[in-house]
Amino acid sequence: MGIFKFFGNYVKHQTIQNLADSSGFARDLIRINQIKKRENAQNIFGVKLEYVPETSEEELVSVSSELFNMTKDQTLKYVTATPVVYIKELDNDTAREVVKYLKSIGVQSSITKAR
């Protein structure tokens, strides 16, 4: 199975490279994709709290203290100031995981670029 996957990836890479060599448009698309990949790996994303129901406040305080070393007062300050950027300097994948967890506890949140 592994050798077939390796061969498939090799063929795909060669095809993309041939397209990039023959077409300026394809080369530009590949560059744009590479820039997006680098950008997603940088710690320039944040999590924006949009709405926190009262039933989810205690769970949010608990998660904030465990994962981000926030005090209860800091977390509640963010809750009262919604919509606000809650956590900064995350990579895209980590921000997605945080948003996914917050949605599971009933908190409306989203990923935002935070510089």
Residues 69, 50 share a domain: yes
Residues 103, 60 share a domain: yes
- Dist CA 60 CA 80 (whole Å): 13
Residues 33, 20 share a domain: yes
pLDDT reported for residue 1: 55
Could you give the 3-state DSSP secondary structure of residue 103? helix
Can you give the residue range of the structural domain that contains 36?
2-41
CATH number at residue 60: 3.30.1390.10
Q: What is the pLDDT along the chain (115 residues), one digit of tens a residue?
A: 567 676 677 777 777 777 666 666 667 777 777 777 666 666 678 888 888 888 888 888 888 888 888 888 888 888 887 788 878 888 788 888 888 888 888 888 888 887 6
Residues 57, 76 share a domain: yes
Residues 24, 55 share a domain: no
β-strands 108-113, 84-90 pairing: unpaired
- 103 token code pair: 């949605």
Residues 105, 72 share a domain: yes
